[in-house]
Amino acid sequence: MEFELTHEQRELAAAFRQFCDQEIAPRAEDVDETATFSWENYRKLAEFGYLGMGYASAYGGGGADTLTTSVLGEELSRVCASTALSVAASTGLCGKFIERFGNEEQKRAYLPRLARGEIVGAFCLTEPHSGSDAAGMKTTAVRRGDRWVINGSKMFVTNGTIADVFVVLARTDPEKAHGGISAFIVEKNPQARPGRPLRKLGVRGSPTCEVVFEDCAVAGSAVIGEEGNGFHYAMQNLDLGRIGIAVFSLGIAQACLDESVKYATERQAFGHNIYEFQGVQFKIADMQAYIEAARLLAWKVAWRFSRGEKVTRDAAIAKLFASEAAAQAASWAVQIHGGYGYIKDFKVERLYRDAKLGEIGEGTSEIQRMVIAKEILRSRG
């Protein structure tokens, strides 16, 4: 087993790290403070080639595998979790859904524009009354002639206020449970109404809202893949999305460690750098250990996904471990900063709020544990 990234991957990661530090990091505080999506970041990431990096070259992408995009995703999350989350929802939850399950026409219609940053994507699965129980959705799509008419409400839609294209899961057969759900591509239109941005604890610069579909008619060609297969596609794409959240959490955890080491080697107490105290050293050492373990899990599952393997269990493990590691690292980082960690002048205050999302988004920690437990039983027949 090879544990090293290739020379090309390391070169690309180094270039992207520098790009993130120079071009994205300076806006991160403002993005959070004003709770505003940064179009400037989005444009610059498109110019770098990051937005389409994971798509096949036939669709304007860079053809990079998931391990490569994961290594880069960590760097972006390290500097601006809000931008990282919005980009992941657009390119991954929406774009990758279309690339993996859509037809040629759908891929050509949306992927190049997503890659160039001309449009933004969103993914609509969760509803106000069905979050963890995704199959409990009430949104319907009813066939009328050669069109489908969608009615219902989707909740916590990342990019909901800024999206041009939505991948929407809706019930097409009320008699069937999981097999009665289909996926649609819905372009922005007056019958797909985003609500006001939700006022969130963290990742505030990634706009989240409710989207209400009221007699929203789409062409028959808007169905993604096979009718009735939407739930399976959504679950498969969430496997990939959960690798993305693992990487998102990893980036935040790394930023917590970096800030803690910096602060602890500058701050004086009792005539010493506080780094010299074991109480601080142990937290920093534990952070590093958690990060190393989380990174190995994330890289392993990303690598396996790139090889076309089924990664449901490992994606849930990586997401669970990395998000809980990030939340713990953020808590320790604030603690190391003491009173300064509790005010907005220091980055760890934002990291602490941002980290929490990892334990909730794309399936809570409890759902990941359910998925892991189910997969263990499944593997034993």
| Structure tokens, 326 | 């990030």
Q: How many CB atoms lie within 10 A of CB 377?
A: 8
- Which backbone phi and psi does 137 adopt, to 5 degrees? -65, 150
Three-state secondary structure call for residue 127 = strand
Please pick, from the candidates 165, 170, 330, 367, the single residue that binds ligand COS as defined by CB under 6 A: 367
Site for ligand COS contains 238 (CB under 6 A): yes
Nearest approach, Cβ of residue 154 and ligand COS (Å) = 10
Tally: H helices and E strands in the chain: 12, 10
Give the footprint of ligand COS on residues 76-95 (CB under 6 A).
Answer: none
Instruction: For ligand COS, give the closer residue by CB, 134 or 257.
Output: 134
Could you tell me whether strands 165-171 and 121-124 are parallel, antiparallel, or unpaired per DSSP bridges? parallel
Parallel/antiparallel/unpaired status of strands 272-273 and 192-194: unpaired
223 in Cβ contact with 233 (< 8 Å): no
Least distance to ligand COS, CB of residue 339, Å: 35
Residue nearest to ligand COS (CB): 363
Of the pair 37, 123, the CB lying nearest ligand COS is at 123
Sole window of 35-43, 110-118, 132-140, 285-293 interacting with ligand COS (rule: CB under 6 A): 132-140
CA gap 291, 277 in Å, rounded = 21
Transcribe 144-190 into DSSP letters. Answer: ETTEEEEEEEEEEEETTTT-SEEEEEEES-TT-SGGGEEEEEEE--T
Q: Which of residues 107-126 bind ligand COS (CB under 6 A)?
A: 123, 125-126
Angle at 161 between CA 315 and CA 154, to 5 degrees: 60
**Stretch in the footprint of ligand COS (CB under 6 A) among 147-155, 222-230, 234-242, 273-281:** 234-242
Q: Which stretch binds ligand COS (CB under 6 A): 42-50, 191-199, 204-212, 232-240?
A: 232-240
Chosen residue from 74, 127, 239, 259 binding ligand COS by CB under 6 A: 239
* 363 is a site residue for ligand COS (CB under 6 A): yes
20 touches ligand COS (CB under 6 A): no
Q: Is 163 one of the binding residues for ligand COS (CB under 6 A)?
A: no
Rule CB under 6 A: say whether 132 interacts with ligand COS: yes
Minimum CB separation of residue 146 from ligand COS in Å reads: 29
- 78 vs 242, beta carbon nearer ligand COS: 242
Q: List C-alpha distances in Å: 259 to 47, 165, 262, 284.
A: 29, 37, 5, 10
Coil, strand or helix: which one is 362? Answer: coil
Of 236, 254, 260, 323, the one binding ligand COS (CB under 6 A) is: 236
The footprint of ligand COS on this chain (CB under 6 A) covers a number of residues equal to 22
Residue choice 100, 147, 232, 267 for contact with ligand COS (CB under 6 A): 232
349 is catalytic: no
Query: According to CB under 6 A, which residues from 274 to 313 bind ligand COS?
Result: 312
- How many angstroms separate the CA atoms of 251 and 254, rounded? 5
Long-range pairs, 291-296, Cβ under 8 A, ≥24: 291/250, 291/253, 291/254, 291/257, 291/325, 291/329, 293/321, 293/325, 294/246, 294/249, 294/250, 294/253, 294/318, 294/321, 294/322, 294/325, 294/326, 295/74, 295/250
Among 33, 226, 362, 366, the one annotated catalytic: 362
Both structure tokens of 196: 């006001």
Nearer to ligand COS, 77 or 126 (CB): 126
Q: Which residues is 122 bridged to in the sheet?
A: 166
In whole angstroms, how close is the CB of 259 to ligand COS at the nearest point?
28
* Residue 362 lies near ligand COS (rule: CB under 6 A): yes
What letter would DSSP give residue 228? T
Q: In this chain, which stretch among 47-55, 183-191, 325-333, 359-367 interacts with ligand COS, using CB under 6 A? A: 359-367
Scanning 228-236, 248-256, 323-331, 351-359 for contacts with ligand COS by CB under 6 A, the matching segment is: 228-236
CB of 40 to ligand COS, least distance (A): 25
- Helices 312-337, 230-266: inter-axial angle, 10-degree rounding: 30
Residues forming contacts to ligand COS in the complex (CB under 6 A) are 123, 125-126, 132-135, 178, 231-232, 235-236, 238-239, 312, 361-363, 367, 370-371, 374
Catalytic residues: 362
